[in-house]
Amino acid sequence: MKNRILLLCTLLCVFLFKEAGAAPELKYVDGTTLTQINKVHPTTKPYSRLEVAKYPDLSKTVRKYYSHSTGVALVFRTDSRTLAARWTTVGNKASTHYSALAQQGMDLYIKQDGKWVFAGIARPQHGDTHAATIVKNMPEGMKECLLYLPLFDEVKSLEIGIDDNAHIEAAENPFRHKIVVIGSSITHGVGAGRPGMAYPAQLERGTGFEFVNLGASGQCKMEQFFAHVAADCETDAFLFDSFSNPSAQMINERLEAFVKTIREAHPDTPLIFLQTEVRESRNFDEKIRKFEDDKRAASEAGMKKLLKTDRNIYFINPGMPLGDDHEATVDGVHPSDLGYARMLEEIQPKIVKILKKYDIR
């Protein structure tokens, strides 16, 4: 009798498992066999965004940040109805300023009717070994996919899972031209809900141009090593978020030398500078308010001087408008997804207009 009950229970479990939809058998392919975009040059570590060994003057912190996969994405085509991922990261400590998904997760978009449409996330797990189903039950047929990698960790390995009977192949870079973005934590993506919401990635999908994210959280103070990195880039234009981190004194002392170093390598390349945001953290802190007001004034004065002598420099001011309802940051400093949306609504058309002058369209 016990055996019959056990058999019935087993059959019932099998039936329920099938009714629930058993996970299909998947096969995995190495992410390095697919196309990588949003990098200025190949790297020894396949998912790092910069070959830091080329720049011995980089600070230790910037070296670490540039080993992150921030902004790097894979593009591929597949007819699989399921997409999954297995990946490992270095396992950086969590931060109070961003989510685990932004730090170690991934973000998938699929092209539909000529537009990139959000398709799913690769949710990370605790620790440095991760596995996730990104999306399933998709329609049959080939799909063009764009997978943004983690913003705040180094990816050591990555495999993409597809149905056992499906195909996957590297796709051509779907974005034209190349714009390098150098900046602060706001560029790095602090406050973004997921990797594809950092503003360079949103600019990329919104314009069709390739935007390389070289943001370095809290570090971009116009040091010469950032200028050396910029000088070494092959790019059609630069976008700088250079006034968020430095003090007024740093801006006064460093701005002209910073631009001079870049100009030696890129004499006519458009350099687009964004004025920094008006921080919510200044609302009731008078010390912060003075510091922020002083550096904004210094950046305006410095740019005014440069604009008189260089016709290929541009200053977008305001460069990070967040609205006036005090609801668009996660911590008084870093834009939330709402903040990034407000910022892009204002600056994207201005950036596009500037780039058109150089036949970047």
For residues 35 and 158, membership in a common domain is answered with yes
**Tens-digit pLDDT profile for residues 172-183:** 999 999 999 999
Mean pLDDT of 303-321: 98
For residues 134 and 188, membership in a common domain is answered with no
Range with the lowest mean pLDDT among 7-11, 30-34, 136-140, 325-329?
Answer: 7-11
User: Among 212, 230, 312, 191, which residue's Cα sits nearest to residue 54?
Assistant: 230
Evaluated on CA atoms 349, 352, 175, 39, the torsion sign reads: negative
For residues 207 and 339, membership in a common domain is answered with yes
pTM: 0.91
Residue 301 placed within a domain: yes
The domain tally of the chain equals 2
Residue 2 has pLDDT above 50, yes or no: no
Q: How confident is the model at residue 321 (pLDDT cuts 50, 70, 90)?
A: very high
Residue 18 has pLDDT above 50, yes or no: no
From 170, 190, 218, give the residue that closes a domain: 170
Residue 266 has pLDDT above 90, yes or no: yes
For residues 268 and 124, membership in a common domain is answered with no
From 137, 170, 203, give the residue that closes a domain: 170
Report the chain's mean pLDDT, rounded to a whole number: 93
Residue 292 placed within a domain: yes
Q: Which residue has the higher pLDDT, 97 or 203?
A: 203
Q: How confident is the model at residue 4 (pLDDT cuts 50, 70, 90)?
A: low
For residues 184 and 92, membership in a common domain is answered with no
Res 24: pLDDT: 60
User: Among 340, 95, 314, which residue's Cα sits nearest to residue 200?
Assistant: 340
From 106, 135, 170, give the residue that closes a domain: 170
Residue 353 Ramachandran class (φ > 0 left, ψ -120 to 50 alpha, else beta): alpha
Residue 20 placed within a domain: no
Domain carrying residue 315: 176-356
Res 161: pLDDT: 98
CB-neighbour burial class of residue 358 (10 A; exposed 0-12, middle 13-18, buried 19+): middle
Instruction: List the end-to-end C-alpha distance of the chain, in Å, as a whole number.
Output: 76
In the structure encoding, which two tokens stand for residue 343, read together? 């910022």
The CATH number of the domain holding residue 156 is 2.60.120.260
Q: How confident is the model at residue 208 (pLDDT cuts 50, 70, 90)?
A: very high
Mean pLDDT of 330-337: 96
The CATH number of the domain holding residue 198 is 3.40.50.1110
Residue 3 has pLDDT above 60, yes or no: no
For residues 32 and 93, membership in a common domain is answered with yes
For residues 49 and 80, membership in a common domain is answered with yes
Residue 18 placed within a domain: no
**Tens-digit pLDDT profile for residues 50-90:** 999 999 999 999 999 999 999 999 999 999 999 999 999 99
Residue 7 placed within a domain: no
**What is the C-alpha to C-alpha distance for residues 63 and 216, in angstroms, rounded to an integer?**
9
176, β-bridge pairs: 209
Residue 61, H or E segment: helix 60-66
For residues 89 and 185, membership in a common domain is answered with no
Residue 5 placed within a domain: no
- Whether the link from the prior residue into 318 is cis, omega within 30° of 0, is yes
Beta strands 115-122 and 106-112 are antiparallel
Residue 104 placed within a domain: yes
For residues 156 and 191, membership in a common domain is answered with no
For residues 152 and 203, membership in a common domain is answered with no
Res 91: pLDDT: 77
Residue 199 placed within a domain: yes
For residues 316 and 184, membership in a common domain is answered with yes
Residue 218 Ramachandran class (φ > 0 left, ψ -120 to 50 alpha, else beta): left
Residue 241 Ramachandran class (φ > 0 left, ψ -120 to 50 alpha, else beta): beta
Residue 6 has pLDDT above 90, yes or no: no
For residues 35 and 132, membership in a common domain is answered with yes
